[in-house]
Amino acid sequence: MNPLTTTRIVYFSPTHTSEKIARAVGEGIGMPRRIETDLTFDESSSPIEIKNELTILAAPVYGGRVAPAALKRMKRLKGNGSPAILLAVYGNRDYEDALIELHDAAVSLGFTPLSAGAFVGEHSYSTPELPIAEGRPDETDLQKARDFGKESLQKWERIAAVAPLKVKGNIPYKELPPSRPACPTCTDNCFVCGECVDACPTHAIRIADDGSRIETDMNLCIKCCACVKACPNRARTFFSPFAAILHEKFNTRREPEVFF
């Protein structure tokens, strides 16, 4: 295929695991020119035109599907036929229909899927008390991501045309359960530093007008736990009944899966 010189790394990644894997894939590709498009906080709708760039699209898995906020933010992208490497990042339970959904979204945005991978990141609900895929991606994951990037570029250089990419997943996609509004809360250890406000991708958190406390709009909260992980004082907590089950049942290490 025609030689490419630019890698575009696009991600939505509240707790940074999708970001780390996307960057490692970019490193493996090794092109001198890399552009990063971080959609985590980006609520703009003006189009981003992507032309002749090997594009990495990375998003977390929420409920076996692509995180809805990621899909919403990716709508700005105009692929113009650019080849895309798709990455679904999940918390060691399962990614179910997320990769196929990301594939279909990429096609509808005008990308040509070249390869895809499901990688594991520390679960958003993981805590030191109830770890779930704690510390992932680790060095082994990142090396696999670099190798995957290198092999994806080799595929591009080897082929004359891109054949339709087959990835794991079902159509119709898994139905999402109705969303129940909930959000993390602050303990008495909160000293209103505002770190969590800056970490929130949906602007659900604010400091109260009198500066005495943190307020959260649970209707805006996507339960990503970025605020919990960003709090320097461990004063932000999210109670999910799933955390104990995930900790107990999904403690066997899952490895990345890739599709060419």
Ligand X SMILES: Cc1cc2nc3c(=O)[nH]c(=O)nc-3n(C[C@H](O)[C@H](O)[C@H](O)COP(=O)(O)O)c2cc1C
Q: Which residues bind ligand SF4 (CB under 6 A)?
A: 14, 183-184, 186, 190-196, 199-200, 202, 204-205, 214, 216, 221-227, 231, 233, 235-236
3-state secondary structure of 103: helix
Q: Closest separation between CB of residue 46 and ligand X, Å?
A: 24
Is residue 223 close enough to count as binding ligand X by CB under 6 A? yes
Q: Closest separation between CB of residue 17 and ligand X, Å?
A: 3
Q: How far apart are CA 186 and CA 193, in angstroms?
A: 12
Main-chain dihedrals φ then ψ at residue 90, nearest 5 degrees:
-130, 160
Is residue 60 close enough to count as binding ligand X by CB under 6 A? yes
Please enumerate in sequence order all residues whose Cβ is within 8 A of that of 158, keeping only pairs 6 or more positions apart, or say none. Answer: none
**Stretch touching ligand X by CB under 6 A, among 16-24, 48-56, 99-107, 163-171:** 16-24
Helices (H), the chain: 17-29, 68-74, 98-108, 139-158, 195-199, 226-230, 242-249
- Residues of the chain by 3-state class (helix, strand, coil), percent to 5: 25, 20, 50
Is residue 89 close enough to count as binding ligand X by CB under 6 A? yes
Of 152, 220, 156, nearest to 182 by C-alpha is 220
Which partner in ligand SF4, ligand X, none is near 245 (CB below 5 to 8 A by kind)? none
Site string for ligand X, 105-134 (x = CB under 6 A): ----------------xxxx----------
**Binder to ligand X among 4, 9, 10, 15 (CB under 6 A)?**
15
Residues that bind ligand X (CB under 6 A): 13-18, 60-64, 89-94, 121-124, 223-225
